[in-house]
Copies of this chain bind each other. A is one copy, B any other.
């Protein structure tokens, strides 16, 4: 099992980084020293390091910790701490340097987000986790642009094509539109969510149908919800269908999303059930004008809709700050006799849960 770029043994990595540091020290004297952080040990303890001669206090805080843990400075100005074994998963973390919260400068693995910079700690399992980079056939993630007539601009878009995909084959695939959270970007489902690796692994295990996954950029301001619904339906889907071999019926088209993207998923999906046979909302944020307009006095033809929907699922963690709101929405949809599955797990409004929800959905989509 090999994880993303952390494929070198920890000890060799430290030696090699020290060697590289010595070589380049003269040339790059103005840069801080190269240090290895985080170092994940075989027993799942983790050492964090940070260089500062001037800081008064440094600590590490992260979603695997209840409280921030102070770090100690050695004579060379390197602060460090080793924390007890961490349950294998990927966790956001940051350093507090005096009053400043920062990403770990030595870690290239960053949480892609528009409002903060945090780093990601990847603690591999003794058996590879579902998001681990494994020695299986790999799909590809393509960064691309489309022109949105709705929004009058060029927008970015990521597309996952499954292992063995070859446009020359003219084979057609089902397609999942997968939407990030409120201040995330089109990259967050791959950089934090590892959607591509989860898909690779489930496909390799025969647990998921090979599919194309489209990850648009969901933030549209000042009216995120309504305009994004129109952008997806009128611009994103036609762009994908013109450029990728995707099936074009609702039984082969799904939409899923997290948080604000989960709310967008409900708006996009439930107002377009002729287009989307699968709707998966993860901890959906629904306190929006569009959601109110769509669902306050909603009286759909539930008989038709329940036939159109192959899967309608809402997932949430019991510690999620949206848990009560999500429960109310599930009850509201069930009150209207809509077939809605729910997946309720432990944990909060986190990407640890997001990966779990996605892995569950990928096993349910397009399984006829």
- Chain A residues near B (Cβ < 8 Å): 2, 4-5, 7-8, 12-13, 15-17, 19-20, 23-24, 27, 31-32, 34, 52, 54-55, 97-100, 102-103, 105-106, 108, 110, 112-117, 133, 135, 138, 140-145, 147, 153-156, 166-168, 170, 182-183, 185, 190, 196, 217, 221-222, 224, 285, 287-288, 321-322
- B-chain residues with CB within 8 Å of residue A166 when the two chains form the complex: 167
- B-chain residues with CB within 8 Å of residue A54 when the two chains form the complex: 99
Number of copies of this kind of chain in the complex = 2
- Supply 17 A–B pairs (Cβ within 8 Å), ascending by A: A7-B154, A7-B155, A8-B221, A16-B221, A17-B221, A20-B222, A31-B115, A31-B116, A32-B115, A32-B116, A34-B115, A102-B102, A103-B103, A105-B116, A138-B144, A143-B190, A167-B167
Which of B23, B143, B217 contacts A141, CB < 8 Å?
A: B143
- B-chain residues with CB within 8 Å of residue A12 when the two chains form the complex: 221-222
Distance between Cα atoms of A180 and B182 in the complex (Å): 32
- Looking across the interface, which residue of chain B has its beta carbon closest to that of A29? B321
Interface of A is mostly: loop
Beyond contacts A52-B99, A97-B100, A98-B98: 12 other A-B pairs, Cβ-Cβ < 8 A, are A5-B185, A16-B221, A20-B221, A20-B224, A34-B114, A54-B99, A103-B117, A105-B115, A133-B154, A138-B145, A141-B142, A143-B190
